[in-house]
Chains A and B, each alone.
Chain A
Amino acid sequence: MRWFWIDKFVEFESGCRAVAVKNVTLSEDHLHQCLPAYPYLPASLIVEGLAQTGGLLIGEYNRFTERVVLAKISKAEFHGLALPGDTLTYTAELEYIKDDGALVRGTSHVNGQLQAEVDLFFAHLDDRIEEEMFEPVHFLNMLRTLRLFEIGRKADGERLEVPSHLLEAERS
């Protein structure tokens, strides 16, 4: 199984907000693991989807040069279940960002109805941990699959460019 909990970005404004969608399908095994006769997307995977939306928003702010990790879920409230056939719209807003981390507020909507709300705290890993989190070429492929560079815009409205260090990794 691939650890993708969003399907694509539909809006992405650098340093401000990102909107991604997640389509819930009956063929996903994890829908059947909580209540056998009543498949739904577990709340933890909705938080993960919101964290991926927010985490990439933070990562892009620093041109993907920082290693961003979800450090804390300060708040997670759910107002309804996500069922097969639903399209979840995840919105992440960057509340505050510094050298050592960031605060993100996230919401999930289904058909315009608020389904979940989260407050997430992300940390940037410092030099004490040397490990690379993603292989650069795979990471770039993932960003393209999520259509980040198709729809992403900088604060001035210009299109987002692929960071040069990722392009170089791809060429080498």
Chain B
Amino acid sequence: MSLTKDEIYEKIQTALIDALGVDDDEVTAEATLVGDLGAESIDFLDIVFRLEKAFDIEIPRSELFPEDILTNAEYVQDGKVTPTGVEQLKKRMAFADLSKFEQNPMVQDFGNLLTVNDMCRYIEGKVGAT
């Protein structure tokens, strides 16, 4: 059974509230997981587990957290993702808006990229929202 975008948003909101201990009004579409909601590295695994359970899907870690690209010398030079690396990221993370990151693609800033909206688009792509 496919879900509406609102239903997907609600389930993601619940997962984030439970995983991060934030209030529901903090989980806005534009909120970034790290900067606004205070997610730390261990939280991402917790969030992935909750989303997998809520939507009955498998989430390969590399789809949401492309560490293999960000730690590959072929795609990173002097702490900056190369244009080829950015292309790889865009290909892998079509659900995420990388336009801001692209302007100054420092690896250290990548962690603060994902927003609630990105998560919604990712899940919508997985479950086929109506």
Assess whether B18 is in contact with A119, with CB atoms less than 8 Å apart: yes
Contacts of A90 in B (CB 8 A): none
Assess whether B19 is in contact with A74, with CB atoms less than 8 Å apart: yes
A95 to B18 alpha-carbon distance, docked (Å): 13
A33 to B43 alpha-carbon distance, docked (Å): 32
Contacts of B53 in A (CB 8 A): 95-96, 103
Assess whether B50 is in contact with A103, with CB atoms less than 8 Å apart: yes
Q: How many A-B residue pairs lie within 8 Å, measured between CB atoms?
A: 34
A interface residues (Cβ-Cβ under 8 A, vs B): 71-72, 74-75, 95-96, 98, 100-103, 119, 121, 123
Instruction: Say whether B1 faces chain A, with CB atoms less than 8 Å apart.
Output: no
Contacts of A98 in B (CB 8 A): 49, 52
A133 to B18 alpha-carbon distance, docked (Å): 29
Minimum C-beta distance from B1 to chain A (A)? 21
A103 to B46 alpha-carbon distance, docked (Å): 8
Interface residues of B in 34-61 (CB under 8 A from A): 42-43, 45-46, 49-50, 52-53
A100 to B60 alpha-carbon distance, docked (Å): 12
> With A74-B18, A74-B19 known to touch, is A123 a contact of B52 (CB < 8 Å)?
no
- Nearest to A96 among chain B residues (CB) is B53
- Nearest to B53 among chain A residues (CB) is A96
Assess whether A121 is in contact with B42, with CB atoms less than 8 Å apart: yes
Assess whether A72 is in contact with B43, with CB atoms less than 8 Å apart: yes
- Nearest to A121 among chain B residues (CB) is B46
Assess whether B21 is in contact with A96, with CB atoms less than 8 Å apart: no
Contacts of B18 in A (CB 8 A): 74-75, 119
Assess whether B21 is in contact with A101, with CB atoms less than 8 Å apart: no
| Interface 0/1 of B81-98, CB less than 8 Å to A | 000000000000000000
Minimum C-beta distance from B94 to chain A (A)? 25
| Interface 0/1 of B8-49, CB less than 8 Å to A | 000000000011010000000000000000000011011001
> With A101-B49, A103-B50 known to touch, is A72 a contact of B21 (CB < 8 Å)?
no
Contacts of B21 in A (CB 8 A): 74-75
